[in-house]
Structure formats: structure tokens, C-alpha cells
Structure 1
Amino acid sequence: MDISRRIARSRPLATTAMHGRVDAMKARGEDVIDFSIAISHFQAPPAVLDAVRAGLELPSLPYTAVGGDAGIRARLAAKVVNENRIPATPAEILVTNGCKQALYQALYVMADPGDAVIIFKPHWPAYVATCKLLELEPVLVDLPAEITEALLDNLPPARILIINNPHNPTGAVLSDVELDRIAAWLKRTGTLAIVDESYEKLIFDGVHASLAARPDWQDIGIVTLFSASQSYAMMGWRAGFAVAPAHVVAAMETLQGPITAAAPMLMQLAMAAAFESGDAHIMLADYRQRRDLVLDLVHGLPWLTMQRPASGPYLWADISRLTMETVNFSERLLADCAVAVMPGDALGVPGHIRIGYISDGVATLRRGVQAIIGYGNALYRANRSAA
């Protein structure tokens, strides 16, 4: 049977495809270190587990309204008001099965086929893939060290600007000045914005602020996406929500209804408990130590440059001096060293690799990074000998 034109020209996400390959290798009994994706070695917070236990004792776990249980939406609205300074009401909250669903629905209801969507690169691969599924036109722009008025004024016309703050994979955190510049540009041009704040709790340096933390966010047209996956070590829970103007939430509900209807009530209870549990200080301290360990291990390598990220579960490394295509580097590293990394090509920037450093134990992290260093050193020496 033939499949549709839309899906026939699409490809699986490189990130999930690599992780799937590693899982298959592990299922065959192979000893593989997986840095291709960030999966926390922490358990979900105790408050989440308590909420699940209490939920299982309820007389029933009913279907809820498509956009989420009224009480859950009120709790999430209180979170974004108090923590993110976004003046939102429960009618402006939509609970989804993870951030990807919220992204898809936001793009679906905010743009029509052929509309342009500006995406800074390196980028989370789902941004581009979702645009292509919806027949939108992704416009890729290099992520600068600072978002200036001149940069914004030179952007091409577009229906939507996607902002990832904190940023995956570089770990950059936008300043208040940059956010003000973006908001002014959105108002001046009439461009809408989708802001992914999935890593809001994983801040090592600086302070995270929301673009929508302004009284006119609804008029500007800002949709903000939140996820419990990384901030609360809840990757497999598929727990996320969106904050959007009420009419956009209503449109997203119209789309969500026939696809998934409401997210599971048990997950809604767990997510609300997560976002009410505060910052995960122990987890963040552990991540900081791991980040610094890797930076110490790779310091001084002549073929690798790695900046200290201000946030997030990833490290972004420039290996272009090896003069090898990074897809080829990643494939050979996996085959020869049983270490999986994500080639920068999947995130729009060849010559780089992304390392998820929060999985497994510290000994495994050290062993995997040392394997990358040894492999890169051998290539670098071979290149110098050939020259």
C-alpha cells in the first residue's frame, strides 16, 4: 500500500534514530555508551512519586477536558505567574503529552503551508522536522553570540520566530536586554513567536527570564512551551504544557481533541507536582560537576573547542579541525569505540558534535569522553602526518 506524499518525503529525527540504534545495540548485549541524547540518571522528584501514589488511590482517573483538568491548569497558571512572571490565566494553559506535541500544535494553528519560520542554528532537530511535516518553510539563521537590533532587523520576513531559551545545544541563556530587543522587533514586524523554555531549571550561570514576562505578551503573539522532561528528570513521562493567548489555546485544543484528547490525568497530577516542587538543587549540582569534569578532560586539545555552557544537559564541541565530516566521525566512533554522539549536521551545523553528559555514572562518563579524546587524537596525528 502506498503512503502519503507528506510522510514519504519525511525522515525520522536524527536524534531519536541514533538513540534507537544504541538501544538496539544494548538489547543485543553490546556495551555502548550513549551520549547522543540526554537521559538523566536521577529519579523524578519525591513530590512527583507521592502525587502518583495518591492518584492511584483515587476512586477513578477520569477523562479531563482536552486542554487539561481545570485544577491542574490553575496550578500551572500559578507557576508561570509566580516563577516566570507571565501574567497568564488557566484559560491560557494547554496540557500536552510532552513539548513536541505542544510545538506541533502551536505551529499548526499559527501558520499556514508555505509560511516562513525563522530558526536559529544549531537547533533542536524537531523544530525543522515539524515545520517540514506541516509544509512550512524553515529559515535557518546562525545563532549569534548576542542578539542585537541589527541582527533582528536583517532577518527575513517570517510568520513565526522560534526561540530556544535556554538553548539546546549551546547552553546559551538570553539576557533581559536581548529579550527586550526581541519583543520590540516582534511588535514592530508583526512576527509571532514560539519560545521553548524546556531547560528553564537547568541554569548554571546567569538567570533565566521568559520572553512572555510582559503585560502585552498576548498582543505580541507569544506561545511559551514548558516541559518536565529535563528540568525534573521526567523524560519518559511525556509531560509538557503551553502558555498561549486564550484563542490560540482554543485552536490548539481543537487540533488536540481528535488526535490524543486530554493528556492522562495521572501524568497531569505528576507534572503539576513537579513544577510545584521547586528547583532541583542536588541534580543541578551533580550536572555542574559532570560538565566541569568533561571540560577539564578536553582542555587543551588542539582539535576540539568546547565552550562552558551556562545551562542544559549538553556540551557542544567544535571538531572541525579534524577535517572529517562529523556524520562520518560519529559513525566511526560508534563502530570502533562503542560511543554514540550526535553529529552537528543533525542540528544544522556540521563540524560539531553534541554530547549528552548526564546519563549513567561518572565513571562511564569519564570512560566515554576519554574514548572520544583517544579517537580524536589518533585522527589528528594521522592528519598531521599526512600533511
Structure 2
Amino acid sequence: MNISRRISRSQPLATTAMHGRADAMKARGESVIDFSIAISHFPAPQAVLDSVRQALQQATLPYTAVGGDASVRARLAHHVAAAHRIPATPAEILITNGAKQALYQALYTMADPGDAVIIFKPYWPAYVATCKLLELEPLLVDLPAQITDEILDSLPPARILIINNPHNPTGKVLSEAEVARIAAWLKRRGARVIVDESYDQLLFEGRHTSLAARADWRELGVVTLYSVSQSHAMMGWRAGFAVAPAPLVTAMETLQGPITAAAPMLTQLALAAAMESGQPAAMLADYRHRRDLVLDLVHGLPWLSMARPASGAYLWADISPLTRDTIGFCEQLLSQRGVALMPGEALGAPGHIRIGYIGGDLATLRRGVQAIIDFGNQLYQAA
């Protein structure tokens, strides 16, 4: 069967492929600890469950406008104004089936085939994969410890910059000064920006600043993406939304209409309830404890270094003193020790591994991390 040129040169996301392999092994009865992605052991917030129960008592659940139910969009606009100081109207809110759909539609409507898109690495693989599907040119640049004017001015010409703040997988949170520098650079270059803030509620330290909180966010052409998958332990709900200038939201609706139409009404209500439920304090405390536990376990290893992330559901480790072939490392670890990790190559950074540390109980977390340590020590001593 003939397959289109666009899709035939594309590959499945490495992140979902590794998780799929771990699931297949479990289905065969094999023992696997899956750190390849982050799946929270917490339930969705009670407010979300209550909102869905109430909705199911209604006689019908109607179709909504493509961009979302008017009352839900108003609730989300109120939320981003109160929580993030983003002065958005309901017409500047677009509800989607997760952040990936919002990303695809934003790129589709903001750029044409051949346009360049700057992406910092390590990156969330969907950024690069979506650019390639849309025949855009991803320009990969190392994420610096601090974003300075000199670094920004050294970036290649591009139509769009993608920012992940807080960042997956490093956990970096941009300072207010860095956000201001990015805004000034956008004005100088005439570029536009997509800011993925899906992890904005998972802050362990510091303060999050939204680029769209600026008074000139519409002039800058800022598109901000949100998801409740990680921030509120709602991985399977596929609920997200975008905040963008109204003309761009209209364009994104034009694309969304023939693809999926509106997100399900139940999903929309769950999304609004999640965003209104506030920062998940108990979940954050648990994640912080797990983060610190892993950092203590790996401290002092000669072949692994791991920074303390300020945010997020992942830990990012440099194992380049041991190997830069982290695909091989992860393949051997999975087959020999039954632990699944995400190799850095999948995120544009060989020599690194990503650990999703928020699933299962603490005993399983300890056992999985100890298996990684023992396996790495064995390789290091044999080298």
C-alpha cells in the first residue's frame, strides 16, 4: 500500500515507543519497572471527579463550539488572569484534546512549510516530530544554564521560537529576567513564540513567570499551552488548552473543526475543575520527597551526575563519563534488569537519561534506582 511522503519519512515518538515496549513486557508476565515516562500514582483531584459525576446526571451532554463551551472558556480565562496574570478573554482560549493538539494547531497556523522553528535541547520529542510532520525546519540549540542577550542574539533566523517553561526534562524554570530578555529578542527579531507551560503547577522552588503576563503579549504573538496531564495527575484525560491572540484562536479553530471538532464536554468540565482546584500541595510534597530520595541514592557516583530540578515529573542525569550511547545503555538495562528509562538521544541529548520518578510506591522507586546504580557500576568497573 502506498503511504504519503509526509508520513513515510516520520517515526513514532521515541517516548511512547519505549513505554509501549515496557507495557508489552508486562503483558507477557515479565517484571518491569517503567521510568520511561511519568505516570503519577496520585488520583485526579476530587473536584474533577465531582464535576464529572455532576455532569453525568444531566439528561444530555451537547456538542459545544469547536473552541470549547462558552462558560468553560470563561472559567479558563478567569483562571489564567488570576493565577498567571494573563489578561486573556474567553475568545483567546482554545480547548483541545491535550497539549499536543494545541501545539500542532499553533504551528500549522503560525508557519508555512520551510519556515524555521528554534527548539532548545534537550526537548520534548513532540516539538521536533510536529515540525517535521508540518514540513517545518527545526533548528536545535543547546539549552543554556541562563538565557542571556548574547545567547539570544546568536540564535539563527527563525519564524518561531518554542519555549518549555518549566522545562521537560531538566526542570529549569525561567527567571523573570530571562523572560524579559526573550520578549525583547522577539521584538528585535520579529519572531513569534509558543510557550509550553504544562508543568507550571509542579514547582518545587522558585517562582514561575508567564511570558503572556506582559501587557504586550498580543503584539508579541505569544501562544501559551497548558495541560493537566502531569500538573493534576490526569494523564489519560487528554485535556489541554491554548491561550493566544483571538485571530490566531480563530485560525486554530478552523483547523480543529474538521479534525476533532470540540473536545468532549466531560473533558472540558474536568479541565476547568482541575485548573480551579489550585496547586496540588500534597502531590508536590510527595514528588519533592521522591526527588530528594533519588538524588541521595545517586549522590557520589563517578559516572552519573544529576542536578536538583526546580520543577517537573522527571529527573535528568548526565552519564557521559560512562557512555554517550544511552540507547544502548537503556536497551541493556531493560533486557538485563527490567528497568525502562528514556535515552537522551530521544530528547536530542546523547549521554543523558531521563527518569520518570512519580509512579508506583517508594519501595519500587528505590528498587528501580538501585538497579540502575548496580548496572552502571558494573559497566563502569568493567571499562
CA distance in structure 2 between the partners assigned to 1:270 and 1:212 by the alignment: 24
Report SS of the residue matched to 1:55: helix
Instruction: Measure the CA separation in 1 of the matches of 2:62 and 2:27.
Output: 36
Q: Aligned equivalents of 2:185 and 2:87: distance in 1? A: 21
Distance between the aligned counterparts of 1:67 and 1:371, measured in 2?
46
Q: Tell me the secondary structure at the aligned position of residue 102 of structure 1.
A: helix
Match of 2:148 in 1: 148
Corresponding residue for residue 67 of structure 2: 67
* TM-score (structure 2 length as normaliser): 1.00
Question: In the TM superposition, what are the counterparts of 1:359-370 in structure 2 within 5 Å?
Answer: 359-370=359-370
| Matched residues, number | 383
Q: State percent identity of aligned pairs.
A: 76
Alignment of 1:230-241 (within 5 A): 230-241=230-241
Q: Which residue of 2 aligns with 1:79?
A: 79
**1:136 alignment partner AA:** L
Give 1:277's aligned residue.
277
Which of structure 1's runs of 4+ aligned residues deviate more than 3 A? none
Aligned residue number for residue 159 of structure 1 = 159
2:322 aligns to what?
322
1:376 corresponds to 2:376: yes
2: CA distance, partners of 1:145 / 1:159: 24
Paired with 2:293 and 2:285, the residues of 1 have a C-alpha distance of 12
Provide the residue aligned with 1:35 in structure 2.
Answer: 35
Mapped contact 2:40–2:358 kept (Cα < 8 A): yes
SS of match in other structure, 2:229: coil
List gaps (5 residues or longer) in structure 1.
none
- Choose 90-99 or 24-33, whichever is displaced more: 24-33
Work out whether residues 324 and 352 of structure 2, in 8 Å CA contact, stay in contact via their aligned partners in 1: no
Q: CA contact under 8 A between 2:324 and 2:350: conserved in structure 1?
A: no
Cα distance between partner residues in 2 of 1:30 and 1:253:
44
Please name the residue that 2:9 is paired with. Answer: 9
> Hey, what does 2:355 align to over in structure 1?
355
Alignment of 1:170 onto 2:180: no
Query: Partners in 2 of 1:148 and 1:245 — Cα distance?
Result: 27
Mapped partners of 1:247, 1:123: distance in 2? 28
Displacement of 1:59: 1.4
* Cα distance, 1:323 vs structure 2: 2.8
Post-superposition CA distance 1:143-167 (Å, at most 9, x none): 0000000000111110000000000
Could you tell me which amino acid in structure 2 is paired with residue 293 of structure 1?
L
Matching residue of 2:259? 259
Helix, strand or coil for the counterpart of 1:205?
A: coil
How far apart, in 1, do the equivalents of 2:58 and 2:216 lie? 40
Secondary structure, in 3 states, of the residue corresponding to 1:138? strand
Amino acid at match of 2:89: T
Please give the TM-score of this superposition, normalised by the length of structure 1: 0.99
Q: What SS does the corresponding residue of 2:162 show, helix, strand or coil?
A: strand
1:209 Cα deviation (Å)?
Answer: 1.1
SS at match of 2:193: strand
Aligned alpha-carbon RMSD (Å): 0.5
1:278-293 equivalences in 2 (<5 Å): 278-293=278-293
Task: Quote how far apart the aligned CAs of 1:324 are.
Answer: 5.1
* Distance across 1 between alignment mates of 2:339 and 2:275: 34
The SS at the match of 2:173 is coil
Q: Does 1:116 align with 2:116?
A: yes
Q: What residue is the counterpart of 1:294 in the other structure?
A: 294
Deviations 1:174-212 (A, max 9, x none): 000000000011011110000000000000010111011
